[in-house]
Structure 1
Amino acid sequence: MDVRKLSAMENTTKAGKTMKQKVKFVVDEEVAKVSDTLPLPLYITNAVFFALFFSVVYFLLTSWREKIRTNTPLHNIDLSEIVAILALIASFIYLLGFFGIDFVQSLFLQPSNDIWAADDDEEENILKQDARKFPCGQALDYSIPKMAPIASPKFVQKVFDDKPAIQTPPPTAEDEEIIKAVVAGTIASYSLESKLGDCKRAASVRREALQRVTGKSFEGLPLEGFDYESILGQCCEMPVGYITIPVGIAGPFMLDGREFSVPMATTEGCLVASTNRGCKAINLSGGATSVLLKDGMTRAPVVRFNSAERAAELKFFMEDPANYETISMIFNKSSRFGRLQTVKCAVAGKNLYMRFCCSTGDAMGMNMVSKGVQNVLDFLQNDFPEMDVIGISSNYCSDKKPAAVNWIEGRGKSVVWEAVIKGDIVS
């Protein structure tokens, strides 16, 4: 064997042993703890203080009860009571720190930032030795885990598009003044659309102002190519850009004798493919059938009265068919799509729960329902001035959680759907 190769191997082995010793020293080095100075084990010390605390409490209560019985002033204390009070304070302080030792250590053993920085530098210097001396890291006993790098906006865009990010043109002199005003707070960010009269320009100005305030780059977030006018007053206030999501098509899907193609916007792999296979199996078996049982969104405010009798009076008023037309007119005036269907009330003590159900057209409709309910509550306040509105939505609603009332009464669209897939198709 070549002498130079043998010498290199020996140097590598020595260096590896040195590295192991240094790393082991860093890992195995222990910090002295406060509990190490205790004359007794930690669990025995805890038991002593625990017993001491309840013993002196019992002693003091017994002593003070005797003084009360004999009409002796409580401030006249003897030596035993002084010792008991001191023991009570000491044991209480110990127990207050959740058995003391961990609490004390957290106060006295907090290394400074300089110590942590020195330890990090030492470990980094050890682990950053010439990698050629330790092929594939074989000489290391352990590796310090490192956090995965956070993807920058530019990197995120390149995941979906290998083309370079589109650079936003620099702001004009006029926009620069507006940006400075937004950063300074003299112009509200939410009012840019109304002040500028141009939704696209407002999004661009807001985007640049936000970049300057936060110090973060929006380079990977597209700005061009979106109709910001279409969302004004409809959805997504204060836009600064938009994102693109791939849209797949599953189907055709045979439902009630009609074929539908189902668009699915997702970045999850195999989701569209598996849905498409399900559509194919249903179609080959003759399709699916569905029946809409009920369609009505609900909102149930809760109000409180001074007496259960008064709450019952409002319940009878709300459920009286003679008052339905008035209540319906008040409810429906807030929307041209929301139409009141039913009102059901339940009394629990002094609280009254009113469950409004209405049609909402093609929308989910929670905002229009809430506005209609608020109109009715304002109307009822005239005849029931002592009514205290606890909440616009209660557990009788019931929103964003499973509830028996929704299963029984229905909420939103109640649908029954059926598809029988043949055995040979499954095979």
Structure 2
Amino acid sequence: MSLYWGSAVRCLLGMCRFLWGVAGPLLLDGKEYSVPMATTEGCLVASTNRGCKAIYASGGAGSVLLRDGMTRAPVVRFGTAKRAAELKFFIEDPANFDTLSVVFNRSSRFGKLQNIKCTIAGKNLYMRFSCSTGDAMGMNMVSKGVQNVLDYLQTDFPDMEIIGISGNFCSDKKPAAVNWIEGRGKSVVCEAVIKEEVVQKVLKTNVATLVELNMLKNLTGSAMAGALGGFNAHASNIVTAVYIATGQDPAQNVESSHCITMMEAVNDGKDLHISVTMPSIEVGTVGGGTQLASQSACLNLLGVKGACNDSPGSNSRLLSTIVAGSVLAGELSLMSAIAAGQLVKSHMKYNRSSKDVSKITSSN
């Protein structure tokens, strides 16, 4: 049986092929980046590349890192809701924070407790710990610190029953309002002003059409669909492609793709201001898949491989802004393709072979 499964796994791995490509150069915060992407979507690299071209021709994009903190939220249970509330008040009392920080921080040189936010469901208490994690994505780091605090709290709250180190109030690999509002990992805003002539010549559309489409599609349409963090065209496309190429956890594209895309006419209506706001980009430049040969090479291409000794955390923070900048380029290009009526044509050209198209035509 083991030989059979071993052969099956090797066969499946042999079938796993991605379209590897590089988009760019992405001109972001005054520096140029060649963005590595691994995908099965035929148009994605070319489309993102076009967005990068438009941004470059307009003077580049800028980014702001708003927050940097990974979270983990254990769930514990007491005999009564009153007792659970007592622990909530204890944890959220500013007078106790320094002590809890010392307990939390002793598990790592880089894991530093930032805050703890609690919520109650009956007699169950959920504690959302947030901490800095250096250049690591940091879930293991924060989990170890959380375990230290739970062990410490057990002394003063011996009736506390630890149900799980993660109670889904974190929230990892699931769409959740808490990440959309509070953030998880890196929270980044990226923006650019695209010149009128670039919109016309490179993107083949016009500013007014893009602004209207963004309002009706990304904002109103998403609201009508009851979207949670999905006020964008295809942020997850770019996030996943860059994540696979750079050794991130692909499943974290769920919350990392939370994004709202905004477009506005500026400079007397001639030019386009576009921005993406992404509150929960979860990336690291050490550990996990970042150590794989191809992924390590891609991180090296971006200049963010490994840990930064001079400024711990700066490599992972830079990677998060590159992810946001790449999403900005992808949003700009796809929205332009839709506005210009090019979406179906481009997919038929780049994402289907002519042989497949002829078969479809003849069968109809």
- TM-score, length basis structure 2: 0.50
Greater share of residues in strand: 2
Structure label with greater radius of gyration? 1
**Which structure is richer in relative contact order (CA contacts within 8 A, separation 6 or more)?**
2
Q: What is the TM-score of this pair, normalised by structure 1?
A: 0.43
